[in-house]
Amino acid sequence: MAAESFSVTLQDVASAAGVSTSTASRALNGRADTYRISPHTVERVQQAASKLGFQPSQTARSLRLKRSGLIGVVVPDIANPFFSAITRIVTLAAEAEQYSVLIGDSREATEHEERHLQQFLARQVEALVVCPVGIEFSHLESIQRSGLPLVLVDRCPGPSSLVRVTSDHSGGAAQAARLLIQQGHRHIGVLQGLPGTLPNQLRLEGFRQQLEQTGLSLPDEMIAGDNFTETSGYQAACRLLDEQPQLTALFAFSTPNAFGALRAARERNRSVPDELSIIAFDDSPHASFMATPLTTIAQDIDALGTRAVELIMNQLKTGKPPGRTKHQIGVTAIQRASVTKAKL
Amino acid sequence: MAAESFSVTLQDVASAAGVSTSTASRALNGRADTYRISPHTVERVQQAASKLGFQPSQTARSLRLKRSGLIGVVVPDIANPFFSAITRIVTLAAEAEQYSVLIGDSREATEHEERHLQQFLARQVEALVVCPVGIEFSHLESIQRSGLPLVLVDRCPGPSSLVRVTSDHSGGAAQAARLLIQQGHRHIGVLQGLPGTLPNQLRLEGFRQQLEQTGLSLPDEMIAGDNFTETSGYQAACRLLDEQPQLTALFAFSTPNAFGALRAARERNRSVPDELSIIAFDDSPHASFMATPLTTIAQDIDALGTRAVELIMNQLKTGKPPGRTKHQIGVTAIQRASVTKAKL
DNA sequence: TATGGTTGCACAATCGATTGTGCAGTCTCG
DNA sequence: CGAGACTGCACAATCGATTGTGCAACCATA
Strands of A164-167's sheet in order across: A326-329, A164-167, A150-153, A127-130, A70-75, A100-105, B100-105, B70-75, B127-130, B150-153, B164-167, B326-329
Tell me what the mean pLDDT of segment B140-161 comes to.
93
Q: How many beta-carbon pairs below 8 A join chains A and B?
A: 148
Question: What's chain B's average pLDDT?
Answer: 93
* Contact predicate A43/A49, CB 8 Å: no
Which residues of chain A are within 8 Å of residue B293 when distances are taken between CB atoms?
Answer: 291
Q: Which residues of A100-135 are buried (b: 16+ CB within 10 A; e: fewer)?
A: bbbbbbbbbebebbbebbebbbbbbbbbbbbbbbbe
Residue type, B329: I
d(CA B38, CA B45): 11
- Please work out, in degrees rounded to the nearest 5, the angle formed at the alpha carbon of residue B238 by the alpha carbons of A292 and B203: 90
Contact residues, B window 162-201, toward A, CB-based 8 Å cutoff: none
- Check B59 against A124: CB less than 8 A apart: yes
Omega cis (within 30) before A273? yes
Whole-number Cα distances in Å, A187 to A53, A256, B297: 70, 22, 42
Nucleotide nearest residue A9, measured CA to C1': D16
- State residue B256's pLDDT score: 87
Sign for the CA dihedral angle at B7, B10, B11, B17 comes to positive
Beta carbons within 8 Å of B126's beta carbon, 6+ residues apart:
B67, B68, B69, B70, B71, B99, B148, B149, B316
Query: Residues A156, A318: contact at Cβ < 8 Å?
Result: no
Is B122 within 8 Å of chain A by CB? yes
* Inter-chain touch B55–A122, beta carbons under 8 Å: yes
Per-residue pLDDT of chain A (344 residues; tens, 9 = 90+): 333 446 899 999 999 999 999 999 999 999 888 888 999 999 999 999 999 999 999 999 999 999 999 999 999 999 989 999 999 999 999 999 999 999 999 999 999 999 999 999 999 999 999 999 988 999 999 999 999 999 999 998 888 999 999 999 999 999 999 999 999 999 999 999 989 888 999 999 999 999 999 999 999 999 999 988 889 999 999 999 999 999 999 999 999 899 999 989 989 999 999 999 999 999 887 777 777 889 999 999 999 999 999 999 999 999 899 999 999 999 999 999 999 999 86
CA B304 from chain centre, in angstroms, equals 8
- 3-state class of A313 per DSSP? helix
| Mutate: best of A4, A58, A75, partner B, most B CBs <10 A | A58
DSSP classification of residue A289: G
Q: Is B38 (CB) below 7 Å from strand D? A: yes
Residue-level pLDDT at A192? 97
- The nt closest to B61 (CA vs C1′) is C17
Could you say which DSSP state residue A311 is in? H
User: Cα separations (Å) of B138 from B111, B134, B141, B149, B162?
Assistant: 12, 11, 5, 16, 10
The enclosing H or E element of B188 equals strand B188-191
pLDDT of residue A344: 67
